[in-house]
């Protein structure tokens, strides 16, 4: 009986010890309804599952910044060991940073760079340098266009750092090509359905368009669908996207999408969890963890097909 009690006590002690050292991470996502961020979220879950001591919980803000702030406040109230945020609106990140920092909880921003002028110690950004994606995209389109013609830019959400950075990259390249003119520049909010409507409007207006530089693949695919409905071949208008999502790669394989720029969703997801865990353990982490973009063309398409 005595041995049984000792064994039970040891087991209970082990359970308490495991619980005491469990790391709890809260993840506040701007929206679950996003193909690229779904891959990021799955990569986070996969990385967390590698360690039995990590517990991770996800919240969907549904593109509502007020909802996201409430979610972060709940994470703070729970006293979690680390918080990861994919911001709805970068203008709200200073408020989120202040709230989490004052609670003494490590904070990791993922994918969308916060607008904070300076990130304080214990706050990290994991993502890709957006301007590079725009440069890579437009350089290839400029070659395809022979250095002249009309380009339309499909913008993502206007509050997004990705939208501003990628568009800035496109325009930096165009400074070297005075014979390429921007004839349209409007938002389709990252969405395929909105891109279909926008492209239809451009087609109906009669504006001559030789290429479309879309800030992401979903909008690029929407543009291609609108073109298909209007009987316009991808050979007539070259369409480029960003992210190299599975749907985009399939479109490239079919000879529709011209190029995409690979944004490593799995690298961002896994990298944000690793950074959160290191910060929670008091380890040193670079304030900016850059995950590089890569050009995807017909020459290297098979390397990215899974």
The CATH number of the domain holding residue 226 is 3.40.50.2300
123 vs 116: CA distance, rounded Å: 11
94 vs 151: CA distance, rounded Å: 35
* 44 shares its domain with 136: no
Instruction: Report the first-to-last Cα separation within the chain, whole angstroms.
Output: 58
* 243 shares its domain with 134: yes
Residue 297 lies in a domain: no
Contacts of 179 (CB under 8 A, 6+ apart): 147, 148, 149
Distances in whole angstroms, Cα of residue 51 to Cα of each of 18, 22, 110, 280, 282: 12, 10, 21, 14, 18
Residue 239 structural domain: 130-262
Residue 214 lies in a domain: yes
pLDDT tens series, the chain, 306 aa? 444 333 333 334 333 333 345 689 999 999 998 888 999 999 999 999 999 999 999 999 999 999 999 999 999 999 999 999 999 998 899 999 999 999 999 999 999 999 888 899 999 999 999 999 999 999 999 999 999 999 999 999 998 889 999 999 999 999 999 999 999 999 999 999 999 999 999 999 999 999 999 999 999 999 999 999 999 999 999 999 999 999 999 999 999 999 999 999 999 999 999 999 999 999 999 999 999 999 999 999 999 987
Q: What is the per-residue pLDDT for 10?
A: 39
Domain count, the chain: 2
List beta partners, residue 80: none
* 237 shares its domain with 281: no
* 12 shares its domain with 105: yes
DSSP per position, 232-289: --TTTSEEE-SB--HHHHHHHHTT-S-BEEE--HHHHHHHHHHHHHHHHTT----SEE
* 26 shares its domain with 123: yes
CA atoms within 13 A on the CB side of 213: 31
Residue 300 lies in a domain: no
Residue 81 lies in a domain: yes
**217, 243 Cβ separation under 8 angstroms:** yes
Q: What is the per-residue pLDDT for 16?
A: 37
* 180 shares its domain with 248: yes
* 145 shares its domain with 258: yes
Residue 302 lies in a domain: no
* 55 shares its domain with 151: no
Q: What is the per-residue pLDDT for 161?
A: 86
Q: What is the per-residue pLDDT for 82?
A: 98
* 154 shares its domain with 200: yes
Q: What is the per-residue pLDDT for 34?
A: 86
């Amino acid at each position: 009986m005595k041995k049984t009690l000792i064994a039970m006590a040891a087991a209970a002690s082990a359970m308490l010890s495991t619980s005491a050292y469990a790391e709890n991470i809260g993840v506040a996502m701007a929206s679950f309804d996003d193909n690229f961020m779904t891959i990021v979220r799955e990569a986070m879950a996969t990385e967390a599952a590698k360690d039995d001591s990590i517990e991770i919980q996800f919240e969907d803000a549904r593109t509502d910044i007020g909802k996201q702030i409430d979610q972060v406040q709940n994470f703070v109230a729970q006293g979690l060991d680390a918080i990861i945020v994919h911001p709805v609106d970068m203008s709200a990140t200073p408020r989120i940073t202040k709230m989490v920092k004052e609670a003494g909880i490590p904070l990791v921003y993922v994918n969308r760079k916060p607008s904070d002028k300076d990130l304080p110690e214990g706050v990290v950004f994991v993502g890709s340098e957006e301007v590079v994606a725009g440069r890579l995209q437009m350089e290839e389109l400029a070659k395809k266009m022979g250095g002249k013609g009309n380009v339309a830019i499909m913008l993502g959400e206007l509050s997004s750092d990705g939208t501003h950075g990628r568009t800035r990259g496109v325009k930096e390249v165009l400074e070297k090509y005075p014979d390429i003119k921007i004839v349209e520049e409007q938002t389709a909010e990252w969405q395929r359905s909105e891109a279909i409507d926008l492209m239809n409007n451009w087609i109906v207006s009669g504006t001559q368009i030789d290429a479309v530089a879309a800030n992401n693949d979903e909008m690029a695919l929407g543009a291609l669908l609108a073109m298909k409905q209007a009987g316009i071949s991808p050979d007539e208008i070259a369409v480029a996207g960003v992210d190299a999502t599975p749907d985009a790669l399939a479109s490239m394989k079919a000879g529709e999408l011209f190029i995409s720029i690979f944004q490593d969703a799995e690298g961002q997801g896994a990298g944000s969890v690793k950074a959160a865990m290191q910060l929670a353990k008091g380890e040193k982490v670079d304030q900016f963890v850059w995950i590089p973009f890569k050009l995807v063309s017909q020459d290297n398409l098979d390397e990215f097909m899974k």
